[in-house]
Amino acid sequence: MDIKLVQLQKHGDERGSLVALEDQRNVPFSIRRAYYLFGTKEDVRRGFHAHKKLQQMAIVVRGHCRFHLDDGNEQLEVLLDNPAQGLMIPPGLWHEMYDFSSDCVLLVLADAHYDETDYIRSHEEFKAGLSK
Ligand code: TYD
């Protein structure tokens, strides 16, 4: 599977680190929405969907979590534990998130407002859609 991890430039000095996110620059789409997950309980697994059109980039700003990715052919586990790394989640990629550290803050940038009709929440439907 061709997963895309974007290396985000870290501006660091003796004071600490800074990462800037800019649409059409290091984020390859126009950012229309940002949301973040935090305080995720131990043993929680969430996500369980793919999107029809939505482009997203996920950045673990603090802590770590894992992504289970499924493009219909291959499955892959990805550890995100670096605030200078963005995982691209293109449309048509089934994703689940798990193994959240208690301090995990998972920031997601998206190219559209929240729209429930863009979700494919059934794995059966996801698989069926790919074979069309
Ligand atoms: P949910 O889709 O269950 O999150 P995940 O797929 O990551 O497990 O979303 C949880 C709730 O938050 C649900 O009621 C929908 C709402 N929500 C918004 O209102 N706006 C958003 O941008 C997102 C991602 C979710």
For residues 69 and 92, the answer to whether their CB atoms sit within 8 Å is no
Establish whether this prediction's ipTM goes over 0.85: yes
What is the Å distance from ligand 1's center to 129 Cα? 22
| Global pTM value | 0.96
CB 107 within 8 Å of CB 33: no
Q: Which domains does the chain have, with CATH numbers?
A: 23-130 (2.60.120.10)
Look up 49 and say whether it is catalytic: yes
Contact between 103 and 64 (Cβ < 8 Å): no
Report pLDDT digits (tens) over 83-104: 999 999 999 999 999 999 999 9
DSSP helix/strand/coil, 50: strand
Q: Looking at ligand 1, which residue's alpha carbon is closest to its atom 1?
A: 47
